[in-house]
Amino acid sequence: MTDGVVASDRAPPRRTYPPDHGSESTMASRTFTDRMRGFFDPRPARWRTVVIIGIVLAYADGYLLVALTGAVGAIERTNHPFGAWLEESAVLVPLIILAELLVLKLVRRRSGPVLRSWRGTVVAGLLIAMAASVTGFLAITASTGYDYSLQTKLIVFEENIDNVNGVPLVPAGSTVARGNCNSMICNEERFSLATDVRGVAISAPILVVGNIVLVGLLLAYFGGRLGAPERRRTEPVPSTEKV
Amino acid sequence: MSELPDQPEQAPDVPEESQAKSGLSRRVVLRIGAVGATAAAIGVGRAMAMPNMRQRGLANPDGFIDAASISLTDSVFTEVFTTSPLILNPFNDALPVLKAERPIPISELDPPPGPGVGQQNSLGNETHQLWSSDIGFPDPLFYRFKWEVATHDWTSSQVMPIDKNGKPTQSFDAQGNTIPAGTVRTLPSSVVWTHNGTVPGPMINAEYGQPNLVRFENHIHENPQNLDSQDFGAPDGSVLIHLHNGHTAPESDGNPHYASIAGPKNRGWPPGTFVDQLYLNFPAGFDDREKVSFWWYHDHTKDHTSSNVYKGLFGVYPFYDPTNNRDNGDETTGLRLPGVRTDNGDGSFDVEFDIPLAFYDTRLEDGVTLHNDFHDPEFPLAKNPRTHPEWWGQLFFRHFPDHGFVGDIFTVNGKAFPTLEVKRRKYRFRFLDASISRIYDFQLMTSTGGPKSAASLGYGGDELQGQYRIQDGQQCMQLMEIATDGGLLPTPQLRNNFELWPAKRREFIVDFTKFQDGSPTIKGDEIFLTNVMKMTTGRMWDSSLRFSPDPNYKIPMLKFVIGDDAPDNSVMPVPGQTILRDLPPVPDNVDDLMDNRLIFEVQRGSAGGELEWLINGEPFDPFTILNSLKNPAGNTPPATPQMNSFNIWEIRNGGGGWVHPIHLHMEEHRTLMRNGKSILPNNPDPGHPDDISMEDLAATDPSESVIIYRGFRNFTGPYVVHCHNLMHEDHAMMFAWSIVP
């Protein structure tokens, strides 16, 4: 049994901590600045850890986002994917850090500002990975939605060229398999939507697995902990939260 | 800042020294493990992925993303095609050796063709820009090519239906009833669209100085046998035939830019119409140095070129040059290239020992593969998406996904695994890749064991493509290359193998009297024309002799059987000594033109499927002339060259792991640079040795660029440039340009 397990087994019960995000009245009594300070308190992690994880996960998720755009996204957005990756991932960095902070806040509420067990660290890491995955997934979904809007415009443009001489490609009232979709525009839009949705669906497990692996690797780089080394934690560290 | 101590009140129970000691150890292990795992992942990834990425042009920052896009594309677009039944007795059908089509009297054409206003088509809205008499040429020879529905047999052999693992599987009859696995079947005839009922279409042997006029009549709608045209081919039966790469006026060129804005004002010529396409058969600018030697004709209907060509609408148009009897099909005169000419007395002629070979890959319906395509609404009778067991054994085609279409049965002149008995003498072969997307790499091989089916060798999936292999095949002969798509080479090149890209033509002399080691052939010897390029999708090769060859991938496509001796008056040209042609010169001021060149970048885009291919970021728009990307002079000139001018164009392959054969209509070009390196005067890229001569198609590997020099002479009006992966062309990889007075 590792010392971590021992520490975990002996971790103080949750009730020993003051309710740092307690009742409505407590919340109401805190100033906005205090609440912001509380929110941006990275404990039980360190800012350095939070930022590094945020950057790595943002660029990993951004990679998938841009790759997916290249695979099924709108034509207008598929040029120069490397530059797009750098730019769009940069936008993701603060979003992922915010997601991390939310997770850390939750962890802090449940386990206190210090994680003494490896299980707690693993759980916190998994939660961070999941939160980043949700953020990445939302970003991919938004990106795909934008792609779809661009794609539909292009489809209409192309069909207008085809029909410019007044010859409809599909006779009115044609019986077709896909419900009442009896035009090329409608059909292509449905194909486009189905493809986009399939792309988003495929990206979800890739995001989750990728983020878990990366967080695991980063935690290993950090020596298996989110916070500061033990000797630093033994020194008093001012809290940003009021109770 | 905080009144709350950040440490729990309880001290750790584990002694600090012990914890620190064991924790340090654990942390070091974790860190080493993380660093090691990362290093290993990077190392393995580089070792495994980088060679492939380099080959596919992806070893660059954008390629780093594109590689993932391609993998995702594979996941999103399910590329499911049929597995054709296995042909059980290959190499029993004779190679169809095409005979020249015979011209007809003008009196058989009603109304008669002519130079008059409105006389160029059945709609009465176009006139020939130039008539033969305008340039002092004789009257044209007249031909009538009817586009009609017919049937075609790819083989006379019986077949064994197999599944994707190569195992016997069920098949179906014409009513869709199931026939048990393991039952040997006779293939039903495939329904095809033809010129005068044949695939390939009739061959016209053309000659410089003798114009030909072909009246193309659309009879697709008549279909007297009430054949089922299935779910591909232009849904309204339109056809548009392009003579590739005819130096012709737009009204006779058969391109979708012209067809959209003039003439039929449609994707092509609809059923019930006709068009007279006049091929004046003079070299560009009346310059003898511009003469070509092998054209072909094929469908070019907007958005449906691939399916119409695949349905059978293509044919060959060999060219002969009677000037000084230089290359007139008579091996006793001029360059003395192989050929014994027989004049038919009506202006047409045949040339023995001079054989066009049109390569085309196909797939046959297995009855269990789902038909699911963007174009389904255009074929309401098919009621897709669904399977079509009733079409078992007939042609199978799908546009979607539009990466490209590759077949698993390779045919030559419309037959799978044909055999040609050759005399012990020299032959001239004119190779044409009429495939939708497939690139071939040919070698002449012998095999002790003979062809074995890929299924019997344990292959499955995409490895079944080609059906048969000669795994013990050894190269036995070389080929003397004499011509490309732009005509004769300046001097011949001795080749061990050669690539043939879609729409490319290459001509070779093969001496069947001896093997490459000098030993003589004897009657009954068998030599296989073998494809060694594995290309399992329409993107690009998986393996080729240029990149990571697969020694087990040797697909015999045509068997030559050595026959009797025969007289041979031809002379094998000698590389570096025999001058086959003079090239038109590149002007001295070419460097001055370079900065203001027109730049066109072909790219892969996506619209969820249909509009996946673009040039300069734009899908094909026949009503808008494309502008160049910004050139080094800072300009974005439109593609509107003046008549009788010359210009420099650059074609860039935007990369992403795709190859693109880019075809420029109307005149051949000379390649000046490839990938930024000058190839002049005789320094071609090893992968593209033909760059030293004239071409009408720029073969671009991933991320390559070519800079070409070409003219725009004799005619005005609308033309196109497009990718000749016909699936790419159909999905917008084409642009409109126009010659202005």
Nearest-by-Cβ selection for A184 from B33, B265, B377? B377
**Higher pLDDT residue, B549 or B452?**
B452
Q: Which residues of A touch B64 (CB under 8 A)?
A: 82
Average pLDDT over residues B316-320: 98
How many residues are recorded in chain B?
A: 741
Higher pLDDT, B738 or A239: B738
Question: Is B303 near chain A, with CB under 8 Å?
Answer: yes
Residue B611: left (phi > 0), alpha (psi -120 to 50), or beta?
beta
Q: Which residues of B touch A198 (CB under 8 A)?
A: 76
Report the gap between the CA of A14 and the closest CA in chain B (Å): 10
Does the pLDDT of residue B305 top 50, yes or no? yes
* Closest B-chain CA to A73: B606
Residues of A in contact with B8 (CB under 8 A): 12, 16-17, 112, 114, 116
Measured between alpha carbons, how far is A243 from B693 in angstroms, rounded to an integer? 84
CA dist B287 and B298 (Å) reads 26
Beta strand ranges found along A155-239 (DSSP E):
none
The pLDDT of B194-203, averaged and rounded, is 98
| ipTM over 0.85 threshold | no
Contact B65 A81 (CB under 8 A): yes
- How confident is the model at residue B239, as a pLDDT? 97
pLDDT tens string B714-730: 999 999 999 999 999 99
Tell me the HSE value of B397 on the side-chain side, using a 13 A CA sphere.
29
* Contact between A202 and B608 using a beta-carbon 8 Å cutoff: no
CB contact under 8 A, B30 and A18: no
How far does A24 lie from chain B, in Å, by closest CA?
Answer: 19
B75 touching chain A per CB within 8 A: yes
Question: Does residue B358 surpass a pLDDT of 90?
Answer: yes
- The predicted structure's pLDDT at residue A166: 46
First to last CA, chain B: 81
**Residue whose tokens read 């695939």:** B199
**Does the structure show a pLDDT above 70 at B14?**
no
Q: Which chain A residues contact residue B28 at CB under 8 A? A: 223
Q: With cut-offs at 50, 70 and 90, classify the pLDDT of residue A236.
A: low
φ and ψ at residue B464, rounded to 5 degrees: -80, -10
Answer whether B3 sits within 8 Å of A242, measured CB to CB.
Answer: yes
Is the preceding omega at residue B385 within 30 degrees of 0, hence cis?
Answer: yes
- Per the omega criterion (within 30 degrees of 0), is the bond before B200 cis? yes
Distance (Å) from the C-alpha of residue B104 to the closest C-alpha of chain A? 35
* B410 DSSP β-pair partners: B361
Residue of A nearest to B400 (CA): A191
pLDDT of residue B74: 73
Please give the pLDDT value at position A22: 42
**Distance, CA of B289 to CA of B9 (rounded, Å):** 95
Query: In the structure encoding, which two tokens stand for residue B580, read together?
Result: 């086959």
B15–A contact, CB cutoff 8 A: no
Q: Does B380 touch chain A (CB under 8 A)?
A: yes
CB contact under 8 Å between A202 and B75, yes or no, is: yes
- With an 8 Å Cβ cutoff, are B617 and A79 in contact? yes
Contact partners, residue A1, CB within 8 Å, separation at least 6: none
Report helix, strand or coil for A196.
helix
Residue among B123, B95, B384 at smallest CA distance from B275: B123
B462 in A contact zone (CB under 8 Å): no
* Contacts with A12 from chain B: Cβ below 8 Å: 8-10
Which residues from B are below 8 Å from A217, CB to CB? 34, 37-38
Contacts of B237 in chain A (CB under 8 A): none
Cβ pair B469, B447 in contact under 8 A: no
Say what the pLDDT of residue B123 is.
96
Copy the structure tokens of residue B587: 């002007």
Mean pLDDT of A83-94: 94
Query: What's residue A16's pLDDT?
Result: 44
Give residue A24's pLDDT.
45
Arithmetic mean of pLDDT, A75-96: 88
What's the CA gap between B642 and B738, in Å, rounded?
9
Question: Could you tell me the pLDDT band of residue A70, with boundaries at 50, 70 and 90?
Answer: confident
Chosen from A14, A79, A218, A241 to mutate, greatest number of chain B CBs within 10 A: A79
Q: Which of B 603-622 lie inside 8 A of A, CB atoms?
A: 603-611, 614, 617, 619, 621-622
- pLDDT tens-place string over residues B60-81: 888 888 888 878 877 777 678 9
For residue B401 the two structure tokens come to 């996904």
Greater pLDDT, B163 or B41? B163
Backbone dihedral region for residue B680 (phi beyond 0: left; psi -120 to 50: alpha; all else: beta): beta
Neighbours of A226 (CB within 10 A): 26
pLDDT of residue B2: 38
Which residue in A10, A80, A151 is closest to B608 by CB distance? A151
Chains A, B: CB contacts under 8 A, how many?
A: 247
CB-closest option in B2, B64, B621 to A238? B2
* Residues B104/B185, Cβ–Cβ less than 8 Å: no
Mean pLDDT of chain B: 92
Averaged pLDDT, A112-139: 88
- Residue of A174, A189, A195 to mutate for B, most B C-beta atoms under 10 A: A195
Please answer yes or no on whether A20 and B4 come within 8 Å at the CB atom.
yes
Cis check: omega of the bond before B256, within 30 degrees of 0: no
Q: Which of A45-59, B17-31, B225-239 is predicted with the least confidence, judged by mean pLDDT?
A: B17-31
Q: Count of H helices and E strands in chain B?
A: 7, 42
Cα–Cα distance, A224 to B32 (Å, whole number): 12
Position B611 pLDDT exceeds 90: no
Secondary structure class of B149 (helix, strand, coil) = strand
**Residue B6: predicted pLDDT:** 41
Whether B406 shows a pLDDT value over 90: the answer reads: yes
pLDDT value, residue B149: 97
Distance (Å) from the alpha carbon of A140 to chain B's nearest alpha carbon: 14
B422 Cβ neighbours under 8 A, 6+ residues apart: B512, B560, B561, B562, B563
Residues from chain B that touch A176, judged by Cβ atoms under 8 A, are: 376-377, 380
CB B562 within 8 A of CB B512: yes
- Distance from the A94 Cα atom to the nearest Cα atom in chain B, whole angstroms: 22
The pLDDT assigned to B71 comes to 81
Residue A84: CA count within 13 A, CB half-sphere: 22
Which one of B65, B267, B371, B658 would you mutate to disrupt binding with A, by most A Cβ within 10 Å of its Cβ? Answer: B65
Q: What does the pLDDT read at residue B444?
A: 98
Please give the average per-residue pLDDT across B146-160, as a whole number. Answer: 98
Least confident span in A203-212, B158-167, B227-236, B647-656: B647-656
**pLDDT tens figures, B407-452:** 999 999 999 999 999 999 999 999 999 999 999 999 999 999 999 9
User: Residue B74 in 3-state DSSP?
Assistant: helix
Position A162 confidence tier, pLDDT thresholds 50, 70, 90: low
Question: What gap in Å lies between CA B27 and CA B78, rounded to an integer?
Answer: 45
Higher pLDDT, B595 or B26: B595
Asked if B34 lies within 8 A of A217 by C-beta distance, the reply is yes
No. of H helices and E strands in chain A?
A: 8, 0
Instruction: Report pLDDT digits (tens) over B20-49.
Output: 455 457 778 888 888 898 899 889 888 888
**A165 contacts B265? CB cut-off 8 A:** yes
- Tell me which of A190-194, B243-247, B503-507 is least confident: A190-194
* Chain B residues near residue A37 by CB distance under 8 angstroms: 1
CB B431 within 8 A of CB B357: yes
Q: Tell me the mean pLDDT in the region B549-561.
A: 96
The answer on pLDDT for B253 being more than 60 is yes
What span, in angstroms and rounded, lies between the C-alpha atoms of B409 and B419? 15
Tokens of A76: 């207008």
Could you give the angle at which helices A118-162 and A47-72 cross, rounded to 10 degrees? 30
* Residues 6+ positions from B18 with CB-CB distance below 8 Å: A3
pLDDT at B660 (0 to 100): 94
Residue pair B477/B520 in contact (Cβ under 8 Å)? The answer is: no
Inform me whether the C-beta atom of residue B23 falls under 8 Å from chain A C-beta atoms.
Answer: yes
Is-contact B205 B318, C-beta < 8 A?
yes
Contacts of A75 in chain B (CB under 8 A): 605-607, 611, 614, 617, 619
B383 touches chain A (CB under 8 A): yes
B33 contacts chain A (CB < 8 A) = yes
B window 566-595, beta carbon within 8 A of A: none
Q: What's the first-to-final CA gap in chain A, in angstroms? A: 36
Contact predicate B97/B351, CB 8 Å: no
Q: Check CB contact under 8 Å for B374 and A170.
A: no
Backbone region of residue B286 per phi and psi (left: phi > 0; alpha: psi in -120 to 50; beta: other values): left
Residue in A with minimal Cα distance to B31: A221
CB distance B2–A162 less than 8 Å?
no
Residue B203 CB coordination number (10 Å): 23
Which chain A residues are within 8 Å of B68, Cβ to Cβ? 63-64, 67, 70
The mean pLDDT value for B335-348 works out to 98
In chain B, pLDDT over 90 holds for what percent of residues?
77
